[in-house]
Amino acid sequence: MPPPPPPSRLLALLSARRPPPLRRLLQIHAHLLAAGLLSFPSSPDFSSRLASAYALSTTDASSSASPRPPLHHALALLFPLSTSAYNAAIRALSLCDDDRHGCRGGGGIVHRCLSLYRALLRSGAARPDHLTFPFLLKACARLQERGYGDAVLGHVLGLGLDSDVFVVNAAMHFLAVRGPMEDARKLFDQSPVRDLVSWNTLIGGYVRRGIPGEALELFWRMVAEDASVRPDEVTMIGAVSGCGQLRDLELGRRLHGFVESNGVRCTVRLMNTMMDMYVKCGSLELAVSVFERIEHRTVVSWTTMIVGYAKFGLMDDARKVFDEMPERDVFPWNALMTGYVQCKQCKEALALFHEMQEASVEPDEITMVNLLTACSHLGALEMGMWVHRYIEKHRLVISVALGTSLIDMYAKCGNIEKAIHVFKEIPEKNALTWTAMICGLANHGLAYEAIEHFRKMIDLGQQPDEITMHGNISLGEKAAMKLVEIDPSDSGIYVLLANMYADANMRKKADKVRAMMRHLGVEKVPGCSCIELNGVVHEFIVKDKSHTDADAIYDCLHEITLQIRHTEDLLNISATGVV
DNA sequence: CGATATTTGT
């Protein structure tokens, strides 16, 4: 028998970033027991470290080949655990930040955190304390469902921990991410404790939700009213990115000045945010000047620069930046591809995808959305179908956005049946999905089906609160206009529209738009038809001469017309009689 | 002791 490793060696094994495999962990556990190192309390706290390692090793995806024991079995071996051991285990789990270990959306890890918390509540010996909740709430904020976090918030109140600033901030963060923003705000306004992180959390929350006005107002209030805090890097990241959402260049320069005159640490992250803001506010020049002043550029810095050039249509410069970057993850690839698509250089986008595959970069959902958009523009049905198969083969999750892109691609590439099929298959639909389907049907001249879908969309209440605070109405309008185009005489559309506006509390505007729609209905829209040849869609409008082979096509049409006339003469029937 | 933060998309 080899001698047991010294405690320092065991400690090192337990503290490694990657936990030892379960089998090894059990050995370590036995050694610690034999050495009497698990008697509580001890320093260093071996039982906390062992609990953390168990929590992590039952999460480790690499051990998923063999059945993993439930976490509570492993922890039962350590029973009874102290609160700090539970906290350490929850902490270790909540810090393990990627989703490889569990199901999507960090679900696996969060549920393990919650089961640890339940074990803690059941244990009787230990009670959750002020250190338990920041980690736990952070985990809950990563979960789509709100229920668990709400329950935990209830416990916080029950235990009277609502005066611990760390707990309050974690609760605010949870509410800002998952709950109604008003609740986060209420907590901020009513809490007896408040510090820099409280302000930052709330400002960041408003920015994440796309309410930049509120974020900036809070920022100025913080500067003016609360002398106990000074804006730091995190504050400024929130304020500057909010300013980017506002597209307010003047404000952006002011905030930039604020950073420099208030000694805020100008870290790469802040400078990246500043670049992004300048790009969004339309000043490529200032974005470049910030980029050039960054000493240690990250992938984010380079990517933001690519987005900037692409946004201004300077694809050659975007490509140059892309080629110059020392290392790339999927972001710069997607950013460049998006640029090509938006600049209508769809063939370049497809070529980039092939480069991406040669570079062995794993494409993601966004890559696929870009590819499908490129295919839609090109009318490249073959390629589009290949992308569809690729998505299925690689088991990429078909999100709303991806599903919508598929529908749009099939519709624009001329395969409306497949578009309908995908529409029926996908589980999640939003207003954009419906619009893509309705416009697709309308473009294929399927007026009845389009109107039926429009009706269904309204019936399902698939709008007012989907997007903002108005944007949705224009979506409805977009769909409706398409319908008016194909059948101006259908009064049903006007009724539906009127109802839609009524539902959205826009009665005042309803009449005005009604008149507009009528006007549109009167207007003649040129008839249009599409034909697909070898994966390329050719579009023709009445009297359209834009096609490269227009002369030949019209010659051919003329020939066909002559032949029909000739046949008519032979059969002695009139053209109107046939048609 | 513990909480807040930047880049890609229909």
Last residue of a domain, one of A423, A449, A470: A470
Whether residues A374 and A439 share a domain: the answer is: yes
Burial class of A213 by CB neighbour count within 10 A (0 to 12, 13 to 18, 19+): exposed
Whether residues A429 and A381 share a domain: the answer is: yes
Quick check: is A447 in a domain?
yes
pLDDT of residue A99: 47
Tell me how far CA of residue A243 lies from CA of A4, A177, A533, in angstroms.
Answer: 60, 20, 48
The nucleotide whose C1' lies nearest the CA of A200 is B4
pLDDT of residue A445: 83
Cα-only R_g, chain A? 30
Strand B, nucleotides < 7 Å from a protein CB: these are 1-10
Whether residues A443 and A502 share a domain: the answer is: no
Quick check: is A505 in a domain?
yes
Residues of chain A falling short of pLDDT 50: 63-66, 99-105, 464-468, 470-471, 521-530, 532, 537, 541-543, 572-579
pLDDT of residue A467: 42
pLDDT of residue A575: 41
pLDDT tens across A7-60, in order?
Answer: 888 888 888 877 788 888 888 888 887 777 877 667 778 888 888 888 887 665
Going by C-alpha positions, the residue among A340, A350, A294 that lies closest to residue A314 is A340
Residue nearest to nucleotide B9 (CA to C1'): A366
Q: What's the distance, CA A231 to chain centroid? A: 28
Whether residues A401 and A457 share a domain: the answer is: yes
Own/partner pairs for A60-67, CB < 8 Å, 24+ apart?
Answer: A60/A18, A60/A19, A60/A21, A60/A101, A61/A100, A61/A101, A63/A21, A63/A22
Is strand B within 7 Å of residue A477 (CB)?
A: no
Range of the domain at A438: 363-470
Whether residues A430 and A487 share a domain: the answer is: no
Distance A201 CA to B3 C1' (A): 9
Quick check: is A410 in a domain?
yes
Quick check: is A483 in a domain?
yes
Residues contacting A474, CB < 8 A, separation 6+: none
Query: Helix or strand or coil: residue A531?
Result: strand
DSSP-derived secondary structure letter, A79: P
Domain count, chain A: 3
Quick check: is A262 in a domain?
no
Query: Helix or strand or coil: residue A266?
Result: coil
Phi, psi angle pair for A537, to nearest 5°: -95, 130
Quick check: is A318 in a domain?
no
Distance CA A262, CA A290 (A): 18
Which CATH number belongs to the domain containing residue A451 in this structure? 1.25.40
Whether residues A508 and A554 share a domain: the answer is: no
Write out the two tokens for A221.
Answer: 């209030």
The nucleotide whose C1' lies nearest the CA of A306 is B7
Alpha helices in A97-194 (DSSP H): 107-123, 132-141, 147-158, 165-178, 181-190
Whether residues A484 and A546 share a domain: the answer is: no
Residues 259-318 of A with CB under 7 A from strand B: 267-269, 272-273, 276, 298-300, 303-304, 307
Quick check: is A316 in a domain?
no
Is strand B within 7 Å of residue A436 (CB)?
A: yes
Q: Which amino acid is at A158?
A: G
Distance CA A27, CA A22 (A): 9
Whether residues A520 and A530 share a domain: the answer is: no
Distance CA A401, CA A282 (A): 27
Is strand B within 7 Å of residue A27 (CB)?
A: no
Whether residues A489 and A533 share a domain: the answer is: no
Distance A110 CA to B2 C1' (A): 18
The enclosing H or E element of A230 equals: none
Whether residues A410 and A482 share a domain: the answer is: no
Whether residues A459 and A480 share a domain: the answer is: no
Whether residues A421 and A514 share a domain: the answer is: no
pLDDT of residue A288: 98
Quick check: is A521 in a domain?
yes
Is strand B within 7 Å of residue A404 (CB)?
A: yes
